Amino acid sequence: MNLSPSEQSMHKPSDGCMEASKAEHLLPCFRRSTYDEPLASYHSGSIISHLLRKTIHNKLTSLDSNLLYLPSTNTSRVDPEANRTDDFPQEDQSSLSFKDEDMSASSDAERPLSEHLQAKRARVENIIRGMAGSHGDAESECEAVRCRRDLLKENKRKQRLPQHQEPSQSNAKTSKDEECHKLKEQLQSMQRLLHQLQEKISHVYDQNYSENEEREDERSEHDVQPSSRHKDQVKVETVGFGSDRVVKNLQETLKSELTRTVSESVDLVFKKLCVPQPKPCRTPEYSESEKRIPEDSPSELSDSEENIRSRSAERFESDSPEHQTEALSLVVRKPSLSQAVKRPYPLHQTPFQFGYSAPLHDSQILEHLLKYGPHSTFSALPCLPASLERASPDSMEHPWESVAMRSKVTSGHLAQHHRAGPPGLVSVDTLCLPHVKMECGDLQSMAERSSFMSLNISFERSIQIFIIHSCLTPNHLKKAKLMFFYTRYPSSNLLKNFFPDVKFNRCITSQLIKWFSNFREFYYIQMEKFARQAIIDGVNDVKDISVNRESELFRALNMHYNKANDFQVPDRFLEVAELTLQEFFGAISLSKDSDPSWKKAIYKVICKLDSDVPEDFKSPSYL
DNA sequence: CCGATGCCTG
DNA sequence: CAGGCATCGG
């Protein structure tokens, strides 16, 4: 398929491929990130409407609908393949119009043709009109649904519509073939639309960016108290972060990520649509049109089975389950960002309307920042721009307070704030991040105010959020589970001592405590279960109850707290487990379980059996 | 009132 | 595992 000039200009390699590859280079982890979970978890319908809702409802659209609405040259091209299959004059595609005059004008030439040709044309125009009309219509958030409905209706009504120059046949196969093809085209057109939108976003972003700069300049001239500025309007430069390049990188990464996300979602939809009957979809045209959008997708984009499969959820599932579940539950679902979305704002007032899905996306980025980088240092974060490098030595003590990074641009004027550490390294303390020290409760309001909810995310803010989110990672969870083998009832002080790399606050503390509460819950449930089982099994004497490493009970517990089984569980834990089981057994034997709070007595006993956690656990880099 | 805890639920 | 809720003690 050929690109029209307008499309080519829209899909400039420098805006697409280059950025994608650049992003790939800078942030390799992103590739997997957006793809893995969220897209795989959407089903085909929802992802598209989700994306469309996100984009069409976006404020940017209303800011300048003309930007989005590419004049006839573009809107009329939303379905060029349909034009071709319907034998529309190729050269007339860009002038395809919905005006009646045009209809009649062209129909002069086509009068000899059978009526159904005109009917076809009318239908195609109708479809196009429907799509075009909804582009600028803020009300119609379900463009995809509508188009699809139209198309399906179209197919039902007219299954004999010729495809691929084949004679019209109305057997079931061609019908499905057509539908698949139509949907493919439709999705591709939406993809183009979204790509356009993405261009607009970056355009508006750039506008805002320069506007903000101007505003900032004005303020610094007229404002007597610069401190009265809204925090969120602190522009990147004022943070002293320094690097335009860093900001640009992030910006570009986000742009390309949006594009790629769209592509992959479309791919996923395709896969779902086409898998039942792959052959019909695998027409030459299909391959062609797939290749037509390389800038949206990684370079390996093709219609090969391998690639399709590699995009599928199956592959995702084949990944380490622990890897996924834990990371996602910890970070993606994390507090405020998702909560903010469901705040009871009237839709039209929602300050982060556009960011409908942005939190998820951004959280994924952050998640991967966390996943791939021990929050102790940035050095191990492959996703971070190259300008962020090695952490300072003192970061091993309290990495959260001295996440160090090298500013390749100007670290000089920041060095004055920097404490210990090699020259050229800048502590995060020097970033003057206003929110870094705030607590989780504030995070939501921050998210609401923040440009983070849009693509206008600044780098320093992503760092803030990174830090906030990096408080507890999957590794921390793993560590906590292992610590449970020693202590069932850790005090907050103990936790603080053993998680030196965590910036403790109310929220983090209670989350950690909650973890242990959950651990205990599981522990006691198992105990009760096995105690009852022992009774059922006819065990009479408490002394007949023992727990060793071969016990089923131990295996269950070990599976829960030491899934990888790479940790030597201390013998003491076995003793405690045995005692606990015996307590439960005794209590149940004596029918104490009729008392609603019968377990509390047991808890009281067990909580005294905590032992010291080995010093090794104090290392932030434990695990 | 706040924090810790437990219970229930998704 | 996290959220929400109720309860309890300081």
A478 closest-nt by C1' vs CA: C1
Mean pLDDT confidence for A518-547: 92
Bigger pLDDT: A460 or A155?
A460
* Closest nucleotide to A339, Cα to C1': C3
Distance A469 CA to B3 C1' (A): 23
A378: pLDDT strictly greater than 80: no
Mean pLDDT of A122-140: 39
Q: At what angle do helices A284-291 and A172-222 cross, to 10 degrees?
A: 10
The answer to whether the C-beta of A585 is closer than 7 A to strand C is: no
Statement: the CB of A66 is under 7 Å from strand B = no
Average pLDDT over residues A76-102: 32
Other beta carbons less than 10 A from residue A49's beta carbon: 18
- A329 strand C contact, CB < 7 Å: yes
Beta partners for residue A425, in sequence order: A406
- Nearest C-alpha neighbor of A120 from the set A136, A106, A132, A101: A106
Closest CA to A334 of A367, A293, A358, A307: A367
CA atoms within 13 A of residue A313's CA, in its CB half-sphere: 13
Residue A426, SS3 per DSSP: strand
CA of A326 to C1' of C8 (A): 32
Q: Give the model's confidence band at A187: pLDDT under 50 very low, under 70 low, under 90 confident, else very high.
A: low
Model confidence at A622, pLDDT cuts 50, 70, 90, reads confident
Report chain C positions within 7 A of protein CB atoms: 1-3
The contacts found for A95-98 with CB under 8 angstroms, 24 or more apart, are: A96/A72, A96/A125, A96/A128, A97/A72, A98/A125, A98/A128, A98/A129, A98/A132
Instruction: Please provide residue A426's backbone torsions phi and psi, each rounded to the nearest 5 degrees.
Output: -120, 120
pLDDT value of position A53: 41
Percent of chain A with pLDDT over 90: 12
Which amino acid is present at A203?
Answer: H
- Write down the pLDDT at residue A491: 87
Neighbours of A39 (CB within 10 A): 19
Residue by residue, DSSP assigns A125-179 as HHHHHHHHHHHS-TT---HHHHHHHHHHHHHHHTTT---TTPPP--SHHHHHHHH
pLDDT-based confidence at A595, cuts 50/70/90?
A: confident
Task: Please tell me the distance from the alpha carbon of residue A413 to that of residue A392, in angstroms, as a whole number.
Answer: 18
pLDDT band at A504 (very low <50, low <70, confident <90, very high): confident
Supply the pLDDT for residue A598: 87
Q: How far is the CA of A333 from the C1' of C3 (A)?
A: 12
Q: Which nucleotide has its C1' atom closest to residue A604's CA?
A: B5
A496 CA – B2 C1', rounded, Å: 20
Copy the structure tokens of residue A314.
């199956």
Q: What's the whole-number mean pLDDT along residues A186-209?
A: 55
- Say yes or no: Cβ of A333 under 7 A from any atom of strand C: yes
Local structure of A405: helix, strand or coil? strand
Q: Answer with the residue of higher pLDDT: A595 or A390.
A: A595
Å: A334 CA to C2 C1': 9
Lowest mean pLDDT among A17-31, A211-225, A507-521: A17-31
Q: Is the CB of A326 under 7 A from strand C?
A: yes
Q: Which nucleotide is nearest to A561 if distance is taken from CA to C1'?
A: C1
Q: Which nucleotides of B are covered by protein (CB under 7 A)?
A: 3-8
Round to a whole number and report the distance in Å from the CA of A150 to the C1' of C6. Answer: 53
Give φ, ψ of A277 to 5 degrees.
Answer: -135, 80
Residue A442 CA distance to nucleotide B1 C1' (Å): 20
The pLDDT, as a whole number, for residue A550 is 93
Three-point CA angle A491, A494, A497, nearest 5°: 150
pLDDT of res. A497: 86
- Looking at the DSSP bridge assignments, the partners of residue A406 are A425
Burial pattern A413-442, b for ≥16 Cβ within 10 A else e, equals: ebbeebeebeebbbbbbbbebebbeeebee
Gap between the Cα atoms of A409 and A162, Å rounded: 61
Strand B interface, A 434-493, C-beta < 7 A: 489, 492
Residue with tokens 């640009």: A248
Coil, strand or helix: which one is A312?
A: coil
Q: Which amino acid is at A169?
A: Q
Q: Which of residues 550-609 of A touch strand B (CB under 7 A)?
A: 597, 599-600, 603
Find which of A102-111, A206-215, A282-291 is predicted with most confidence, using mean pLDDT.
A206-215
Query: Can you tell me which residue has its alpha carbon closest to the C1' of nucleotide C3?
Result: A335
The reported pLDDT for the residue numbered A616 is: 86
What is the per-residue pLDDT for A530? 92
Rounded, the Å distance between the CA of A584 and C1' of C10 is 31
Q: Is the CB of A57 under 7 A from strand B?
A: no
Q: pLDDT digit string (tens) for A555-587?
A: 999 999 998 898 999 999 999 999 999 999 998
Residues 6+ apart with CB under 8 A from A168: A160, A161, A162
Rg (chain A; Cα; Å)? 30
Strand B neighbours among A 493-552, CB < 7 A: 506, 509-510, 513, 517, 520-521, 524
Cα–Cα distance measured from residue A255 to residue A253, given in angstroms and rounded to the nearest whole number: 5
pLDDT tops 70 at residue A408: no
CA of A441 to C1' of B6 (A): 23
**Closest nucleotide C1' to the C-alpha of A599:** B6
CA neighbor of A213 nearest in space, from A240, A227, A229, A233: A233
CA gap A68, A93 in Å, rounded: 19
* Shortest CA to C1' contact from A563: nucleotide: C1
Stretch A190-203: mean pLDDT? 57
Strand C and A519 CB separated by under 7 Å = yes
Residue A478 CB lies within 7 Å of the nucleic strand C: no
Which two tokens mark A502? 């965590």
Q: How confident is the model at residue A400 (pLDDT cuts 50, 70, 90)?
A: very low
Kindly determine whether the C-beta of residue A6 is less than 7 Å away from any atom of nucleic acid strand B: no
At A233-247, the pLDDT tens digits run 323 333 333 344 444
Q: Which residues contact A362 (CB under 8 A, 6 or more apart)?
A: A337, A452, A457, A462, A465
Residue A534's pLDDT band (cuts 50, 70, 90):
very high
Which nucleotide has the least CA–C1' distance to A330?
C1
Give the per-residue pLDDT at A288: 30
Give distance CA A300 / C1' C7 (Å).
58
What number is the average pLDDT over the span A470-497?
A: 87
Retrieve residue A567's tokens. Answer: 């940790």
- Quote the CA–CA distance of A575 and A582 in Å, as a whole number: 10
Per-residue confidence (pLDDT) for residue A308, from 0 to 100:
33
Query: Can you state the percent helix, strand and coil of chain A, rounding each to 5?
Result: 65, 0, 35
pLDDT band at A527 (very low <50, low <70, confident <90, very high): very high
> Which residue reads 């029209």 in tokens?
A4
Give the Cα separation of A411 and A401 in Å (integer). 18
**Residue A416, C-beta contacts closer than 8 angstroms, at least 6 positions apart:** none
Say which residue, A179 or A26, is predicted with more confidence.
Answer: A179
A516 closest-nt by C1' vs CA: C1
